[in-house]
Amino acid sequence: MSGMASDHNTSSQEEYIPHYLQKEDPFASKLSREADIIAGFYLTVIGILSTLGNGYVIFMSSKRKKKLRPAEIMTVNLAVCDLGISVVGKPFSIISFFSHRWMFGWIGCRWYGWAGFFFGCGSLITMTAVSLDRYLKICHLSYGTWLKRHHAFICLAIIWAYAMFWATVPFAGVGSYAPEPFGTSCTLDWWLAQASVAGQAFVLSILFFCLLFPTAVIVFSYVKIILKVKSSTKEVAHYDTRIQNSHVLEMKLTKVAMLICAGFLIAWIPYAVVSVWSAFGQPDSVPIQFSVIPTLLAKSAAMYNPIIYQVIDCKFACCRSGGLKAKSSLKKSRTYTISAPRDSVAMNETQLE
């Protein structure tokens, strides 16, 4: 019986034909022209806001590049990844949505899919590194004393190499990039999992190393930070108001990084769920009109971070001077640096002995 089941599974995989091979023109839009125009305007707004916001962060950081702390360097790298998604990728999809079809053929499709995956993976791994940095600084005080700028640049090299490896693996014949079911965008060929065991292994590897593992590290880091913050809040509860205000500010600045990670994951997890269902569920069971919504949501992820930076700047501008004064009033304390997501926001968190 098991042999018959195996034969049936193999035959079903061999019989499966992905959506982009079922019709002569895989790049024709499967949406209405009105829906394509709406999507095109949406991506245009997202692209402009993301380009201006992340470009501003990079510009302001470049004016003091020699003074950037390690955590601020990682923040700049996140802005570079988000800007790359906006500048390199979005014009292709915007033009295609307005044209009611993908306009750049298979070469453009593979380039677009590679660029989106490369910068998206780079963003997630950068946030993973930032979460680890903050976890070690807050929960293991000795870490902040030896971290230098050259350590941050080594970390950046690892991040870019990691993203480059996984984005380029499909070109080695292990996987591929293919049109989305709605025709006007391209992505990883999730549908290979329906065709072969090798395709399933490829998709599972991508999901684990480029989504599940980084997300697990981020969640672990911020759970430990929350526990540490709660315990330190009790320790400073009996000190004067200035110290308490400084501590509250530091707690809120720690939450900024959590907010950035949450925004990224909220934008990408629906797309990941739909992709996994397309890969391992019933073939072509995801309606085309439904599949475009998670895709558009994921493309908005690059816009959130600059908005968060600006909101936090405005919200805490009145608190910075008080936090800095509180630092000088602690004579018998151990201090270490924690950088806010935006380069211009840098505070000193005080850990009482």
| DSSP code for 89 | I
For residue 194, the model assigns a pLDDT of 84
Helices 105-139, 213-235: inter-axial angle, 10-degree rounding: 30
CA distance 102 to 91: 12
Tens digits of residue pLDDT in 172-202: 888 899 999 899 999 999 988 888 888 899 9
263 in Cβ contact with 298 (< 8 Å): no
The Cβ of residue 190 has, within 10 Å, a number of other Cβ atoms equal to: 25
Instruction: Kindly list the distances between the CA atom of residue 41 and the CA atoms of 28, 44, 212, in Å, as whole numbers in the listed order.
Output: 19, 5, 32
Q: Which residues contact 257 (CB under 8 A, 6 or more apart)?
A: 127, 130, 131, 134, 222, 341
For residue 99, is pLDDT > 80?
Answer: yes
Return the CATH fold of 33-231+239-319.
Rhopdopsin 7-helix transmembrane proteins (1.20.1070)
Task: Tell me whether strands 333-339 and 346-352 are parallel, antiparallel or unpaired.
Answer: antiparallel
Tens digits of residue pLDDT in 247-290: 555 556 566 677 888 888 888 889 989 988 888 887 677 788 88
182 in Cβ contact with 291 (< 8 Å): yes
- Phi, then psi, of 182 in degrees rounded to 5: -85, -5
Tens digits of residue pLDDT in 27-41: 999 999 999 999 999
For residue 5, is pLDDT > 90?
Answer: no
Strand partners, 351: 334
Point out the least confidently predicted range of 142-151, 201-210, 232-241: 232-241
Is the C-alpha dihedral spanning 127, 128, 134, 138 positive or negative?
Answer: positive
Is the C-alpha dihedral spanning 34, 36, 37, 38 positive or negative?
Answer: positive
* Residue range 65-85: mean pLDDT, rounded: 85
- Burial of residue 83 (number of CB atoms within 10 Å: 0-12, 13-18, 19+): buried
Q: Is 195 helix (H, G, I), strand (E, B) or coil?
A: coil
For residue 39, the model assigns a pLDDT of 95
The most confident of the ranges 16-20, 112-116, 305-309, 310-314 is 112-116
Torsion, Cα 40 46 50 53, to 10 degrees, reads 130
For residue 253, the model assigns a pLDDT of 56
Q: Where are the domains of the chain?
A: 33-231+239-319
For residue 47, is pLDDT > 60?
Answer: yes
Q: Is 76 helix (H, G, I), strand (E, B) or coil?
A: helix
53 in Cβ contact with 210 (< 8 Å): no
For residue 342, is pLDDT > 50?
Answer: no
